[in-house]
Amino acid sequence: RLWKRLYVNAFENALNAIPNVKGVLLAYNTNIDAIKYLDKDDLEKRVTEIGKEKVFEIIENPPEKISSIEELLGGILRSIKLGKAMEWFVESEEVRRYLREWGWDELRIGGQAGIMANLLGGVYRIPTIVHVPQNPKLQAELFVDGPIYVPVFEGNKLKLVHPKDAIAEEEELIHYIYEFPRGFQVFDVQAPRENRFIANADDYNARVYMRREFREGFEEITRNVELAIISGLQVLKEYYPDGTTYRDVLDRVESHLNILNRYNVKSHFEFAYTANRRVREALVELLPKFTSVGLNEVELASIMEIIGDEELAKEVLEGHIFSVIDAMNVLMDETGIERIHFHTYGYYLALTQYRGEEVRDALLFASLAAAAKAMKGNLERIEQIRDALSVPTNERAIVLEEELEKEFTEFENGLIDMVDRQLAFVPTKIVASPKSTVGIGDTISSSAFVSEFGMR
């Protein structure tokens, strides 16, 4: 009953506060997601055409990237066989033509920055500046109407316009997403669960390409915002064939952070899982320049492998809440970052170097936004989030709450005073049969970050 009341209050508080946010910047990854729901007959025909034997060989010896049509189809079949999400980069022009001709059922804006632009600008109506590495018509039209802007040079002055008003003959950065349901069958290969295979035909976001307006006009862009959310760095590799490295990209990101800090713009880093350990280390080293970081259990564990120890990493992955709290404290000790927002299935935590009920209320609002998105698949108006108030609050998290109460005597209304820090805990709303859980992590982090700022 306590949480019911807190949820209702938090929603009203966030709804009132969001219009206070004057501007947010989202960088760097935006692309086109082209979704295709796989069809058994069509896929079998394509595999037969190219040679069933060659394709089946790929299933067992995955190249992890695509330079031929057999490799594309083999990748899809491997993903189906294992029921595993996979993403392979498409290196060949011939395969890119094949993908385009094969087509899609649906187009959506993709990339964390792109997706968050449609949420923060399109749904929350916060003036939003978004980085688009390229701005072709196909992508620009996927941005919803609303205060969403890209910077464009007019002579040497920067102007802010909706992406649809800045369409250029630039490249289409397409991520082809092949979805299959549980039990989907091609030949004798059957999917143990639903999942997707992604053929990534996007050379720009893979290297965190920054367009000229951001390289030359970043200071001017910064003057228009109070908040910034940085994402898309998880794809960086240690070396590139042309001799450049992730350092070259991170140096540019760092110079952007220096400007944001000079203008007192609060910045949030969305820490998506970063496969390369060197890059992951470098991202942790960059955290002191950010105000806030958002992550899930897999990502927090992967950081503990670097700055904590294997044991703690393992416990975080297994979901022990006290280990998660320890890990968050370790990360704050190590980086000095002011705010860490952790989300997992069933509850969220925020560790902050400041106090206030708005930290908890922002988490509650984020939980409602996540549940509304899980329910509806896509949000159109902020008022739709109110419907999530009727979704049941996770029962299992109430047990965790009792454990926290035992450990921390001063635990009250989801807030724990930790001398120089505050820990906020909220049990989340869980939608029983979600339409989709794609992009919910970004919804959670960005909703909490902007609404907390609006309420402060």
Q: List residues near ligand 8BR by CB under 6 A.
A: 296, 343-345, 370-371, 374, 428, 430-431, 434, 437, 440-441
Terminal C-alpha separation, the chain? 26
CA distance linking residue 306 with residue 250, whole number of Å? 19
- Structure tokens, 309: 């120890």
Distance of closest approach, residue 436 Cβ to ligand 8BR, in angstroms = 9
Rank residues 18 and 370 by Cβ distance to ligand 8BR and give the closer one: 370
Residue with tokens 């316009």: 161
- Structure tokens, 379: 């949000």
Distance of closest approach, residue 375 Cβ to ligand 8BR, in angstroms = 8
- What's the distance, CA 304 to chain centroid? 20
* Residue 450: its H or E element: helix 440-455
Rank residues 185 and 437 by Cβ distance to ligand 8BR and give the closer one: 437
Distance of closest approach, residue 443 Cβ to ligand 8BR, in angstroms = 8
Picking from 35, 36, 32, the residue whose alpha carbon sits closest to that of residue 142 is: 32
**Active-site residue, 248 included:** no
Output the CA torsion sign for 287, 288, 290, 292: positive
Picking from 47, 439, 53, 71, the residue whose alpha carbon sits closest to that of residue 231 is: 439
Distance of closest approach, residue 440 Cβ to ligand 8BR, in angstroms = 4
Rank residues 183 and 392 by Cβ distance to ligand 8BR and give the closer one: 392
Rank residues 131 and 343 by Cβ distance to ligand 8BR and give the closer one: 343
Distance of closest approach, residue 296 Cβ to ligand 8BR, in angstroms = 4
- Active site residue: 33, 202, 361, 442, which one? 442
Distance of closest approach, residue 151 Cβ to ligand 8BR, in angstroms = 29
Q: Are 18 and 37 in contact (CB under 8 A)?
A: no
Q: Give me the DSSP letters along 314-329.
A: HHHHHT-HHHHHHHHH
Q: Give me the DSSP letters along 30-96.
A: -EEEEEEE--HHHHHHHHHHH-HHHHHHHHHS--SEESSHHHHHHHHHHHHHHT--EEEEE--HHHH
Rank residues 96 and 376 by Cβ distance to ligand 8BR and give the closer one: 376
What backbone torsions phi and psi does residue 342 show, to the nearest 5 degrees? -105, 135
Distance of closest approach, residue 343 Cβ to ligand 8BR, in angstroms = 4
Specify the 3-state DSSP secondary structure of 4: helix
Strands (E), 255-291: 266-270
Rank residues 257 and 349 by Cβ distance to ligand 8BR and give the closer one: 349
- Structure tokens, 411: 């635990």
What backbone torsions phi and psi does residue 185 show, to the nearest 5 degrees? -125, 130
Rank residues 59 and 120 by Cβ distance to ligand 8BR and give the closer one: 120
Residue nearest to ligand 8BR (CB): 441
Q: Name the amino acid, one letter, at 248.
A: D
Active site residues: 442
